[in-house]
A and B are shown apart, each in its own frame.
Chain A
Amino acid sequence: MWEYTDKVKDHFLNPRNVGVMEDADGVGEVGSIACGDALTFYFKLDENNKIKDATFQTFGCASAIASSSALTEMVKGLTLEEAQKITNEDIADYLGGLPKEKMHCSVMGRDALEKAISCYLHEPEKKVEGEIVCECFGVTDREIERVVRENHLTTIDDVTDYVKAGGGCGNCHDRIQEIIDEILGNERPVRKKAPALTNLQKIKLIEESIEREINPTLKKDAGRLELIDVDGNRVLVRLGGSCAACAKSPVTLKHYVESRLRELVSPELVVEEVQ
């Protein structure tokens, strides 16, 4: 059983704006009966070129119907430029989220919207761009690339959830992995190395962190921490107040003080107690 949000259930059980629009300005058809879901989306503009009305017809599961219904509500009152900016994630977010395996329903909504706008603008029917990668569901490399980039996908399962590619015979899994690798390889953010701190900066930062973050917490238990010295990455401290007599102080030191300082200053720091 799928965990659908109340909003998905509502849009499924009470779909808005159902039906064929005879005098539509734009119509977008996506999906097929073989694939298990299909959507026809219609819209009409007002005199200010804003979307006055939108309707849909959908064959598919609860989330496909809910995504279509949501889309018709979302686009009303928007200019085409604004409508063009709607992403599949926006549709899913509008519904309070979709199960991961159902994200392709939101992608189908976005695709139908794009097609309907192209139809209105009399753009030539977009040829199937790129090469078919998934024969079972007729998905091209371009479509996979796009969904990987836009939704930050990292696995073949993700791609299957979003555009169905790879969900049939599985012969295309290697190719999908290649596409993911190419994109992740190209776009993997180069981890910026934090600029190395000078010794003086490091000591200052440790001092500040102890006063601002650590001592206020220790104070709750009537303890405090005194910085004695910094030697490379060794931070020498003395525990005072009630901490000095507390049997748990070595734990406090390692688990709390050291991890906070590593977080705030540098991951290489080691905290040591001096008597």
Chain B
Amino acid sequence: MNVIYVDNNATTMVAPEVLDAMLPYFSINYGNPSSMHSFGGNVAGAIQTARENLANLIGAAPEEIVFTSCGTESDGTAIRAAIESYPTKKHLVTSRVEHPAIKNLYEALSKKGYRTTFVPVDRSGKLDIDYLYNSLSDDTAIVSIMWGNNETGVIFPIEEISREIKSRGILFHTDAVQAVSKIPINVGETGVDMLSLSGHKFHSPKGIGALYIRKGTKFSPFMIGGHQERGRRGGTENTASIIGLGKAAELAAAHLADHGYDRVNRLRDKLEQALLAKVPNAMVNGDPKNRLPNTTSVAFEYVEGEAILLMMNEYGICASSGSACTSGSLEPSHVLRAMGVPFTAAHGSIRFSLSRYNTEDEIDVILEKLPPIIERLRALSPFWKKAMGT
């Protein structure tokens, strides 16, 4: 059975070019970039090229990039650096729809005496910006707002927020794990102080991420050790993965420059529109205008997400859900709850996230298989007929 992979916000396929670029760094080029001999020094040169490629993708200077192990490490490093750099400030701000890397860190810090503000969103997932600005004070150590939401794809106006936060002299961080490579980003213009990204969301391997730190930003390392990453992250470099991330960044930049996401966007829109047309009582979660081009969260009322996913799984279709049952928790995702999506819809929400490797044929298969699945599950559901008034 062919796999139809539309779960690219969870992780992505390593691009063949990325794998090819990495392989020599497992075998022949195994030197340590810190070594004095040229066998190691050559690896340092390759890492520098990777750093330049990644910097180029987000409009940064190469020396503003620190390689980390993942998005979560980047997020944690940024927030902890802010706390350490401004020890007297005890207030932290974020949104109610962040990834657990920020959400759970903030909750942990609030138990350690920090005051936290979680800025609400409206029904379409738009951030309450006035609420955000009103929460700021001299005591605020950092504001961290994600760029694009992993579940709905909703994009926050980071340039605008960043400018305002900066004008008040407060540190600003953005978790751009889902946004990098999907939309053009230029940190130089936005003025964000720190930005997190993760390699495996754009076709490099798992276990590699980066933190952008604007030149001149007060910083204190999370991993203290050797002089690697100019002392901002100790530990021998994950050389092969860094090379892979650099290659993936190069491919992503070329793809963005070619307007490659127009095709992904068109496939996403086709999938979404056809599902809404074919399936009654279906709706899109989140602002349809300000969204990542690859993501859609579709709610199918009166059915439950896990059941939909497992039935799609029978056809090799891989997606994910905001329902409670898939995560092992008992409540629907905090993102959908923050948006006030009604329970009738939240439990039956499915996220489709595409990549440049998806084809029109694959979308057609989903459109053929999914509507009968929903129909079947609704026939099982005691609420469907009641809702239809029959």
Contact = CB atoms under 8 A, between A and B. Distances in A.
Given A36-B330, A60-B325, A18 B379 contact: yes
B347 A33 contact: yes
B307 A164 contact: no
A133 to B, nearest CB: 15
Contacts of A20: 385
Interface stretch (B138-146, B155-163, B172-180, B298-306): B298-306
B343 interface: yes
Interface residues of A, number: 30
B100 to A, nearest CB: 16
A29 B382 contact: yes
Contacts of B347: 33, 36
5 contacts: A15-B380, A57-B380, A59-B302, A61-B325, A167-B330
A151 B323 CA distance: 27
Interface in A194-225: none
Nearest to B379: A18
A35 B383 CA distance: 13
B344 A33 contact: yes
Contacts of A15: 380
A33 B331 contact: no
Contacts of B361: none
Nearest to B378: A59
Interface of A: 2, 12-13, 15, 18, 20, 29, 33-40, 57-62, 64-65, 101, 136-137, 160, 164, 167-168
A39 B382 contact: yes
Given A13-B314, A36-B347, 19 more contacts: A2-B306, A13-B311, A18-B379, A33-B343, A33-B344, A33-B347, A35-B330, A39-B382, A58-B381, A58-B382, A59-B303, A59-B383, A61-B323, A61-B326, A64-B304, A136-B331, A137-B330, A167-B331, A168-B330
Contacts of A58: 380-382
A12 B307 contact: yes
Contacts of A160: 330
B310 interface: yes
Given A18-B380, A33-B347, A33-B383, A60 B330 contact: no
7 closest A-B pairs by beta carbon, nearest first, are A167-B330, A61-B325, A61-B306, A57-B382, A59-B381, A34-B343, A40-B382
Contacts of B343: 33-34, 36
A249 to B, nearest CB: 49
Nearest to B313: A1
Contacts of A38: 382-383
B383 A65 contact: no
A57 B343 CA distance: 19
Nearest to A102: B325
B332 interface: yes
Contacts of B379: 18
B306 A62 contact: yes
A36 B342 CA distance: 12
B329 interface: yes
A182 B326 CA distance: 33
A62 B307 contact: yes
B381 A101 contact: no
Counting chain B CB atoms within 10 Å of each CB, the highest count among A20, A40, A58 belongs to: A58
Nearest to A62: B310
B328 interface: yes
A33 B383 CA distance: 8
Interface residues of B, number: 27
Contacts of A164: 330
B382 A167 contact: no
Interface in B283-333: 302-307, 310-311, 314, 323-326, 328-332
B307 A65 contact: yes
Counting chain B CB atoms within 10 Å of each CB, the highest count among A33, A160, A167 belongs to: A33
B344 A36 contact: no
A59 B310 contact: no
Given A60-B307, A101-B328, A36 B380 contact: no
A101 B330 CA distance: 9
Nearest to A41: B382
A10 to B, nearest CB: 12
Nearest to A64: B304
A36 B304 contact: yes
Contact of B304 (A29, A60, A168): A60
Interface in B345-368: 347
A168 B324 CA distance: 11
Contact of A36 (B302, B314, B324): B324
A11 to B, nearest CB: 12
B348 to A, nearest CB: 9
Nearest to A12: B310
A7 B330 CA distance: 24
A34 B347 CA distance: 8
B319 to A, nearest CB: 13
B328 A61 contact: no
A212 B383 CA distance: 66
Nearest to A167: B330
Counting chain A CB atoms within 10 Å of each CB, the highest count among B311, B324, B325, B383 belongs to: B325
Counting chain A CB atoms within 10 Å of each CB, the highest count among B303, B305, B383 belongs to: B383
Contacts of B304: 36-37, 59-61, 64
A12 B308 CA distance: 11
A136 to B, nearest CB: 8
A2 to B, nearest CB: 8
Nearest to B345: A33
B90 to A, nearest CB: 24
A167 B328 CA distance: 10
A62 B302 CA distance: 15
A136 B328 CA distance: 16
A160 B328 CA distance: 11
